[in-house]
Amino acid sequence: MKWEDICQAFPNKWVLIEAVQAFTNEESERILEDVVPLKKFSNSPEAMRAYQELHRENPTREFYVLHTSRNKPNIIEKKWVGVRR
């Protein structure tokens, strides 16, 4: 699905989505070409708990929690430098 389709299907909701096809452009913006809605929520804390659980079980998959009031996802990829504990 496209982001616009998700916004129409779930107006004014928090959604947990998985990016199936995505890339990063020159401005470090993540472009989501094809996404799958996994679950909708009325509030962000509940959505983030579901995200954390899924991410813990599947760390290599690309999940996001976004509100459908956004015209576009607008996800900026940040490069982390340093040591992780």
Tokens of residue 30, six digits? 């993540």
Tokens of residue 59, six digits? 């760390």
Per-residue pLDDT tens digits for 68-78:
999 999 999 98
Per-residue H/E/C for the chain: CCHHHHHHHCCCCEEEEEEEEEEECCCCEEEEEEEEEEEEECCHHHHHHHHHHHHHHCCCCCEEEEECCCCCCCEECCCCCCCCC
Per-residue pLDDT tens digits for 23-51:
999 999 999 999 999 999 999 999 999 99
